[in-house]
Every structure is written in structure tokens, then in C-alpha cells.
């Protein structure tokens, strides 16, 4: 891409990867919904082809993003993208014939498993390995329907799962967990948040026993969560003076704590990132 800086060359494929990974999830549920209504309608083909196309473009973006860091990953994701595009062509030309569905389901099954295995081999991080191992186990569990009439369920569910795992891995790979752990330790964020959670639980019990609008502890806990996060669903409201006073106290305390923790973590994280960058420049 001429005219782009090195940072832009890295961010453009990353944004494209994330965009089409996220797009795969609603397309998967759309295909599943249409299949549940009528498995014979042509709209199912369009939904599945759209989902395959999104996954194919995702892997092509990923191949472009990894072309300099890993040749093996570049080739693998390039092959994955081509496989999905071939599946799109098969379904668009032939239709939802059982043989074609079986072939495409097998292709998707192999690609998804290989993709998760490649992610484990590349990242070698504990949280990434756990997520990808869970994804592999779930894909293997779902693959029992790959050669049955329910192959479409396997395809869309496994594709949606793989897209979700990819988004989670890419998102959390941008976070330095060591720095975040140090921030939590030095800012006492864990203690403050624990105090807020205890206050929510205590107020929930108080609301249950003092206000008839909350017949159960679960309802009171749900209401306290909505107050602290300032979401305000409106499905539950206090009717007694005690309940309203507790709501005011919890709301003010929640806003202060959330704002305080957010500002401290953001500022401290920025300072530690700058310090880490200085140390890296000094080492080089």
C-alpha cells in the first residue's frame, strides 16, 4: 500500500481482520435463523455464502498482516481464505445439496481446527492456549453433526465460535497483562472493587427485606447492578423511602468508584507504557 506509514500498514489489515470477524457472528446467527424457519429456501444459501465470504476475507486480511512476521502463518491463512472462497463458489453454483454441504462442512471443520492449532503454536501464551484449546474441544464436539442433515448447524455454530475466539484473542493480545497486573497492585484497584461488590451484595439484602418491589435477592442484585453501572433498565424501581435512600447512596458511590478506578488505570497504564518504551530504547 503506497503512501501509508509503517503503523498504517500494520493497522489496516488488523482493523479489516477485526471488522470481518465481528461481521461473521451476526451472519452466522442469520443463517441459523433462516435454516430453522425453512431449510429449503434460497435465502439460506445467501446467508451461508455471506458468512463464508466474511470468513474468507478475514483470513486474507490476517495473511496480509502476518506476511512479514511469519511466513508459515501467511501461507496458512492465505490457504484458509481460498478454501472459504471456494466454498462460497460451490454453494452459490450448486446449492444446498447434501453432498456439497458435507464437503463444505468438512472443509470448514479442517480449517477451523488448523486455525486454532496454528494460533496455539504462534502465541504460546497461557490465556491464548486455554481459549484455543476450549475452541478445539467445542469444534470437535460440534463436528459430530458434520455428516448428518444438521451439518448447517455445525457450520454456522463453529464459524461463529471461531470468529468470537479470534476477536477475543486479537483484542487481549494488545494488552500487556504484566503491566495491568502491576497497575492493579499499586493502585489498590482490587480492594476498591471488592469493597464495591460487597456493598452491592449488602444493599441487595437490605432492599429485599425493606422494599416489596424486590421479592427476591436476585431481583435486588440485578437492580443494584443497574444502578452502579448507570444503565437504568427501568424494570425494577424502589417504592419505599429506605429503598430510595439506598439507591441514592449506591448510585453516588458507584459513579465515584468507577470514575476513580477508570482514570487511575488509564493514567497509570499510559505512564508505565512510556516507561517500558524508554527502557526498550535504552536496551537497543
The pTM score is: 0.59
Q: 3.40.120.10, 1.10.287.70, 1.10.10.60, 1.10.4080.10: which CATH number matches 178-279?
A: 1.10.287.70
Distance CA 175, CA 265 (A): 13
Residue-level pLDDT at 135: 74
Closest alpha carbon to 227 in 206, 244, 208: 244
- Domain ranges within the chain, ordered by starting residue: 6-174, 178-279
Q: Where are the alpha helices (DSSP H) in the chain?
A: 6-37, 42-65, 71-94, 98-123, 126-142, 151-173, 177-187, 189-210, 217-228, 241-283
**Average pLDDT for residues 200-223, to the nearest whole number?**
89
Question: CB neighbours of 6 closer than 8 A, spacing ≥ 6?
Answer: none
Query: Which region holds residue 124: left if phi is over 0, alpha if psi is between -120 and 50, else beta?
Result: left
pLDDT in tens, 92-140: 787 766 677 777 777 777 887 887 787 777 766 676 677 778 777 777 7
Residue-level pLDDT at 43: 66
pLDDT in tens, 25-84: 888 878 777 777 776 666 677 877 888 888 888 888 888 888 877 788 888 888 888 888
HSE of 210 in the Cβ direction (CA atoms, 13 Å)? Answer: 15
Residue-level pLDDT at 9: 62
Q: Is 148 helix (H, G, I), strand (E, B) or coil?
A: coil
Amino acid at each position: 500500500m503506497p503512501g501509508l506509514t509503517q503503523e498504517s500498514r500494520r493497522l489496516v489489515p488488523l482493523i479489516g481482520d477485526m471488522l470481518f470477524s465481528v461481521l461473521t457472528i451476526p451472519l452466522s446467527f442469520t443463517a441459523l435463523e433462516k435454516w430453522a424457519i425453512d431449510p429449503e429456501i434460497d435465502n439460506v444459501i445467501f446467508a451461508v455464502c455471506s458468512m463464508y465470504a466474511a470468513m474468507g476475507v478475514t483470513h486474507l486480511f490476517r495473511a496480509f498482516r502476518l506476511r512479514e512476521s511469519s511466513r508459515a502463518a501467511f501461507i496458512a491463512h492465505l490457504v484458509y481464505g481460498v478454501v472459504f472462497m471456494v466454498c462460497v463458489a460451490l454453494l452459490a453454483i450448486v446449492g444446498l445439496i447434501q453432498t456439497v454441504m458435507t464437503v463444505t462442512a468438512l472443509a470448514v471443520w479442517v480449517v477451523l481446527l488448523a486455525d486454532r492449532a496454528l494460533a496455539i503454536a504462534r502465541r504460546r501464551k497461557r490465556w491464548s492456549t486455554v481459549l484455543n484449546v476450549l475452541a478445539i474441544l467445542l469444534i470437535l464436539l460440534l463436528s459430530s453433526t458434520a455428516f448428518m442433515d444438521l451439518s448447517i448447524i455445525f457450520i454456522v455454530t463453529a464459524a461463529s465460535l471461531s470468529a468470537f475466539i479470534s476477536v477475543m484473542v486479537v483484542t487481549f493480545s494488545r494488552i500487556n497483562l504484566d503491566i495491568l497486573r502491576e497497575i492493579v497492585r499499586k493502585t489498590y484497584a482490587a480492594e476498591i472493587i471488592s469493597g464495591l461488590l460487597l456493598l452491592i451484595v449488602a444493599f441487595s439484602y437490605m432492599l429485599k427485606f425493606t422494599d416489596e418491589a424486590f421479592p427476591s435477592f436476585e431481583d435486588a442484585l440485578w437492580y443494584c447492578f443497574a444502578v452502579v453501572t448507570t444503565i437504568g433498565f427501568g424494570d425494577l424501581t424502589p417504592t419505599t423511602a429506605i429503598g430510595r435512600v439506598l439507591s441514592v447512596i449506591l448510585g453516588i458511590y458507584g459513579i465515584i468508584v468507577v470514575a476513580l478506578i477508570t482514570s487511575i488505570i488509564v493514567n497509570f497504564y499510559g505512564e508505565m507504557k512510556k516507561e517500558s518504551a524508554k527502557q526498550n530504547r535504552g536496551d537497543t
